[in-house]
């Protein structure tokens, strides 16, 4: 299953990666506690609808936040919403099945590693640009997770020390409030509130949609151009910074902001050749479905963990 900001996606997933009749349920991430309650309720509803519950071998969860991929302990949704929940253990006790859990971007990177660019290279950067910005470095086929399972929070890398834009982490000039979907919407609305002329409008969700920003950029809308130009430069700086740190052979873009290829097309000219010269496989959009990549990664994580348990029980 994949816990998102507005929905929970649950599906049976076979060992070959095929999804069987996925179902969507509403999520509530007001707090980590409400998010957990939503997970439990969604699983209960799914199991009631499942045609053959006995064939389900395990449950594997992809969720936002800091999660111990070994124990399935969910340390926090984010630093402001932190309740240490033994997610895998509590779900296992409730549903009498083995349960595994991992961060959503970790799961997406695992799917990319096993089903996508990982078939071409063992060293790549996966960069997820959606509501927020995060990523993972894959080195020699291994996903860098960090000593506290907090690796990949690269949305909090500062790319403009003179920026007035404050990030939720407390610093100014982080890439996430400049270049994520939510960040670009917030920046556009700030400029609109200042009375800058624009054709942009706020949708029923209280946001300026990213496609409208990209379209406005092409049509010389001044607010859209200001916001998108800043976002492109911030993302280019982020990518080149991480390339210098990790020396990946490929950079893969995922997430809802990247899906139509517009972002990649406009990013390419901003990437300095001298910095990118060893990214020999190139910078590409993920070829995996952005709506399914995390749930497929969750399933792969579950299959990996089950193999480890089988190994341990045999030895």
**Within a domain: residue 41?**
yes
Q: Residues 177-192: pLDDT tens digits?
A: 999 999 999 999 999 9
Question: Distance (Å, rounded) from C-alpha 285 to C-alpha 250?
Answer: 11
The whole-number pLDDT of residue 5 equals 80
**Within a domain: residue 114?**
no
The whole-number pLDDT of residue 54 equals 83
CATH number of the structural domain spanning residue 170: 3.30.420.40
Nearest to 202 by CA among 186, 180, 215, 222: 186
Residue stretches of the chain with pLDDT short of 50: 309-315
**pTM across the whole model:** 0.94
The whole-number pLDDT of residue 315 equals 31
Shared domain check, 271 and 135:
yes
Residue 15 CB-density burial (10 A; 0-12 exposed, 13-18 middle, 19+ buried): exposed
**Within a domain: residue 113?**
no
Shared domain check, 130 and 89:
no
**Within a domain: residue 116?**
no
Shared domain check, 74 and 34:
yes
The whole-number pLDDT of residue 14 equals 86
**Within a domain: residue 117?**
no
Shared domain check, 148 and 26:
no
> Roughly what angle, to the nearest 10 degrees, separates helices 181-193 and 210-218?
60
Shared domain check, 263 and 126:
yes
Shared domain check, 275 and 155:
yes
**Domain total for the chain?**
2
Shared domain check, 302 and 234:
no
Shared domain check, 78 and 227:
no
Residue 278 is part of which domain span? 122-285
In this structure, is the dihedral angle defined by the CA atoms of residues 90, 8, 261 and 216, taken in order, positive or negative?
Answer: negative
Shared domain check, 275 and 137:
yes
Question: Distance (Å, rounded) from C-alpha 217 to C-alpha 305?
Answer: 46
Shared domain check, 130 and 49:
no
The whole-number pLDDT of residue 311 equals 38
In this structure, is the dihedral angle defined by the CA atoms of residues 115, 120, 124 and 128, taken in order, positive or negative?
Answer: negative
Residue 162 CB-density burial (10 A; 0-12 exposed, 13-18 middle, 19+ buried): exposed
Shared domain check, 296 and 210:
no
DSSP string, 135-195: EEEEETTEE---TTS-TT-GGG-BS-TT--PBPTTS-BSBHHHHHSHHHHHHHHHHHHHTT
Shared domain check, 261 and 138:
yes
**Within a domain: residue 280?**
yes
């Amino acid at each position: 299953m994949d816990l998102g900001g507005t929905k929970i996606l649950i599906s049976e997933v076979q060992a070959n990666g095929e999804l069987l009749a996925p179902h969507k349920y509403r999520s509530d991430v007001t707090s980590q506690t409400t998010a957990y309650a939503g997970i439990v309720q969604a699983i209960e509803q799914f199991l009631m609808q499942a045609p053959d519950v006995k064939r389900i071998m395990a449950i594997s969860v992809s969720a936002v936040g800091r999660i111990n991929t070994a124990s399935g302990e969910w340390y926090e949704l984010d630093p402001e919403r932190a309740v240490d929940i033994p997610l895998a253990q509590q779900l296992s006790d409730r549903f009498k099945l083995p349960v595994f859990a991992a961060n959503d971007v970790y799961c997406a990177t695992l799917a990319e590693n096993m089903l996508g660019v990982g078939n071409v290279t063992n060293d790549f950067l996966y960069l997820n640009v959606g509501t927020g910005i995060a990523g993972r470095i894959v080195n020699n086929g291994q996903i860098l997770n960090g000593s506290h399972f907090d690796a990949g929070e690269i949305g909090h890398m500062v790319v403009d020390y003179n920026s007035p834009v404050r990030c939720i982490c407390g610093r100014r000039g982080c890439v996430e409030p400049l270049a994520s979907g939510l960040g670009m919407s917030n920046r556009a609305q700030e400029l609109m509130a200042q009375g800058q002329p624009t054709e942009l409008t706020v949708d029923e969700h209280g946001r300026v949609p990213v496609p409208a920003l990209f379209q406005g950029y092409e049509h010389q809308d001044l607010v859209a151009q200001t916001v998108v130009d800043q976002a492109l430069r911030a993302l280019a700086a982020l990518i080149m910074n991480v390339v210098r740190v990790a020396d990946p052979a490929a950079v893969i873009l995922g997430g809802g902001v990247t899906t139509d290829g517009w972002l990649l097309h406009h990013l390419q000219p901003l990437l300095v050749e001298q910095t990118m010269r060893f990214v020999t496989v190139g910078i590409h959009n993920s070829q995996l479905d952005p709506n399914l990549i995390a749930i497929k990664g969750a399933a792969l994580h579950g299959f990996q963990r089950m193999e480890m348990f089988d190994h341990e029980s045999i030895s």
